[in-house]
A and B are shown apart, each in its own frame.
Chain A
């Protein structure tokens, strides 16, 4: 089936060399080397990677009525693009918006991340698997701790701006190289397809809970420590911003959500 969809996207974007990198229920993600509107010799400013761009394509769903499908694709694609723009203006690390074609369901965005030494993409999941292979001292070493705290910090940044991600998993978190010489990373969140604005404690707690569950199922060996560090990082931003009461609300609700633990417990 994906062949037909790929043919369709190639029709919309002829002359772009698209490489499929992931396919979910709702969208396909491609990488391309050609910028949507800049000529070859002008490199885009303000992007960490000027040679690769992400194309996220929401294909037509043939089971839906055409009009309904257009309405949904348009509003979701535009919604996600608006959110990316908002994140950029808030200075939260996430892919920058490059171009939007809402009617065809296409978003162009910045390519974040790099190749790990084992050739895999630097999502948090792949990176944790990579260091877990190196042995326990690496897997729960200082670097892992720093990265997990950064993840928590990044989520807190989102939540303090009343945005919830809606689909946090270790593959929706990407490590970005901060230095070419030493191992220093920053953390970016990707895939805001299910995100929304919300100031509800419940939504924030569920957001964290979903990630906790994802970590337990994909990295069972050390997930307890990872989750602990994650919450440390999350907490640290709240205390920096002197929002301790807000933190307590989330913490309390998270404990309740964990106990409930039956909804959305199908991760993995």
Chain B
């Protein structure tokens, strides 16, 4: 099967330009990318990032972010950030081919505030809308940045924990969390410790864990291909309340335990699909200890780990633009009445038209 990526190109057009708008959680990100015509899987046709602007809403220590507050934050910032992204990209508005927005999954209120902005821009500038699945955005950006062609994807963030592999035009979920996401587990632990939420609770736990060294036994809950983390959280919260252990050791043990579980299910998925590439995406993917453990595992399988840095791991607008531009080039078009966003939008619901 040969895919044609350029049915929508006008005569003489050399580039596609997409504006991506992300706001599924506490970050609002607007990104603009430019992609040359021709097969995007060809390394010579890499996307060029014109701008990648992000603003993060941080809750005070000891608290999580509330949907209402995040939505207000996004509404306050969206116009300024779009304007900044466009001026930084040095493009004219009529050069933009499509406006891509996160259609889900995520928190309802923040999602909605960004979707409204996207619809407004689309109607105002008469540019087609493209709805993008947040997880697929992460995967496509990871593939684009690292050049991994068919990896097993570990998607770990504050709201999602999934092991994904591509098969027959879907990103299929191999294993996932049965309750809370790994990032959520870390965030909530940070709340118990009352440590700062800036730049992110996970980052602060990672720094504390570097100072710890004593391993405290925690429940290890891999259930086949899936995992469960709420019990571990409850267990370690209780340990914290008793105040018998050093905070650094608790952080260290929690990371060791959670990440070992993630690496284990990833390894299982790799054995199953016979792949030796792993791509780590999502906010928790920035964690150096997770990357290190993954590297050790993959070395034993003679494979490669592909990881990105915080610009692309953490939610951003560019990734939405990247997945959206591919959808657009394959003929995708989201009518205003279909642009309703959803908190529940599974990765495997997306039909991946742009891969064979």
Contact = CB atoms under 8 A, between A and B. Distances in A.
Nearest to B174: A266
Interface stretch (B57-65, B73-81, B86-94, B289-297): B289-297
B231 to A, nearest CB: 16
B172 A265 contact: yes
Contact of B220 (A1, A68, A167, A262): A68
A63 to B, nearest CB: 4
A3 B228 CA distance: 33
Contacts of B215: 65-68
Contacts of B272: 25, 266-267
B11 interface: no
Contact of A262 (B173, B257, B301, B302): B173
Main secondary structure of the interface of B (DSSP, over half): helix
B69 interface: no
B145 interface: no
A63 B294 contact: yes
B95 interface: no
Interface residues of A, number: 24
A167 B225 CA distance: 10
A30 B27 CA distance: 51
B41 interface: no
Contact of A263 (B173, B220, B299): B173
Interface in A20-36: 24-26
A71 interface: yes
A67 to B, nearest CB: 5
A68 B165 contact: no
A54 to B, nearest CB: 20
B191 interface: no
Given A26-B268, A63-B296, A262 B348 contact: yes
A64 B260 contact: yes
A166 B223 CA distance: 10
A86 interface: no
A148 to B, nearest CB: 24
Interface string B242-267: 00000000000000110010011001
Interface in B146-194: 165, 167, 172-174
Contacts of A26: 268
Contacts of B43: none
Contacts of B302: 1
Given A266-B167, A266-B174, 12 more contacts: A1-B300, A1-B302, A25-B272, A61-B264, A62-B300, A63-B297, A64-B256, A68-B220, A68-B256, A71-B217, A265-B172, A266-B272
Interface of B: 165, 167, 172-174, 215, 217, 220, 224-225, 256-257, 260, 263-264, 267-273, 293-294, 296-297, 299-302, 346, 348
